[in-house]
Chain A
């Protein structure tokens, strides 16, 4: 874990790390990665990865309309919207 890696993953996560915190966060991330690194020595041959403890297949359902359109309710939580849309800064010049 070095400055460059932290910069790359910060970019991927759309986070900007303050200059004065960069050193501490790099060190923290390095320690955490070291801490979890013991997993790499683990013999996991023939072990199927477990992504969900129940291992159930997601149930299927009818594709039917379940609730009414609540456009106003959802738009009202937006920091900026007009009657029909979420508003964001101009994307195309």
Chain B
């Protein structure tokens, strides 16, 4: 039986009905991974995964996700399993503990088959900054899968696993989900624990999920999210069961369209898909309302001050002393720091550390960092105002479909604009997701649904109702001989 492209719910059913064993499932997963051409994984954990599968088959494991193979983005610390964060500087790093998200998913019985490739320290929108090589988009191997969680998105898109974790600091779940034709969700900032996630920009980073549809994402989110006293920004409000409201009626619900997002400047296929998606929601009884968010145009510049500032501070911990790469042939401690960091970090990471150092340095702090934090509040206020009028906000997930590998690497700003539609949700901290909703140049594109604080259930409800009335999420890439 081919397990490729099966959803999480389908695999659960197969296991429950004993039509397949977890061992067969995991074994088949590794077979598929070994013939894959996308470079989605950095590290595999075959022996441990097969042992866990045996445990499940012997009835020793239960839970909502029991016996299901999943992949973890290589940014989550995994106990005794190498965690590189896509960087040379962590090439040999073996964490002595699990991230809370990893812990939660394994407590639910899921089996981690390996760690997925990603942009170095999650800094990138194409997966081209990974020290472990570019990930290729399963829909076209010459194109990028998006980033930074490109390995997770490609692995799900290619049908290697039915689910994977990701992290989203400025769009790193939603943009690759869109470019790979799958569903991805980032919950409210603070809803999932950041403990054991290697920090990039702590006030923006948030864990989330990739799957083949919204219903599977809801099930995953039930376990990914939790209150965690080890994360000081973890939300303690009661957590919903994200499947409870997924079948709610959309009649009379209001969807906001952001006036300041100029969709007419985008490719015609992107515009047409957007219009068609609007019609689907209208047929379900939802109404569209234009909302003005005058400060949203400041999102990308605001982000490129805030995120590098936090990154420069977070990445100062990599000094070649306590863990990670250490340069050879150094005469003194100062040289050890400089050489280890210079040899260990890639170019994009260095660029962002330098920008962050600049905007935080004496004399520039007020002009850049403080100003960006003020503009961040103005953006947040725009969301608060918009959500007083509408239930969800809808936009494209990315300006276009997947671009060619190498086509945007020379100009960092062109790459930064990939996240034009996604970045504002991170600055405000609201939940957002991307679902497949059409094709442009023969490649998948995504629709973004943004929700108010802690309203993950609502965007999942909208996404699920959309998917019950469309078939974009059933489309799969033609893998040629590798399938």
Contacts and interface: CB of A to CB of B under 8 A. Distances in A.
Interface of A: 5-6, 8-10, 12-17, 21, 25, 28-29, 31-33, 35-40, 42, 44, 47-54, 56, 58-59, 61, 70, 73-74, 76-80, 86, 88-91
A53 B203 CA distance: 7
A79 B354 CA distance: 26
B302 A15 contact: no
Nearest to B203: A52
B322 A77 contact: yes
Given A13-B312, A28-B412, A39 B301 contact: yes
Contact of A25 (B337, B342, B350, B373): B350
Contacts of A88: 321, 333, 336
Given A33-B355, A42-B375, A16 B370 contact: no
A26 B115 CA distance: 34
Prevailing SS type, chain A contact patch = loop
B55 to A, nearest CB: 24
A49 B376 CA distance: 7
B225 to A, nearest CB: 14
A10 B354 contact: yes
Contact of B345 (A15, A48, A58, A80): A15
Contacts of A13: 312, 316, 341, 353-354, 357
A6 B354 contact: yes
B304 interface: yes
A49 B374 contact: yes
Contacts of A31: 411-413
Given A39-B302, A70-B96, A9 B358 contact: yes
A35 B373 contact: no
Contacts of A79: 320-321, 323-326
B351 A15 contact: no
Contacts of B312: 13
Nearest to A52: B203
B332 A29 contact: no
B427 interface: yes
Contacts of A14: 316, 319, 334, 337-338, 341
Given A25-B354, A35-B413, A39-B301, A78 B370 contact: no
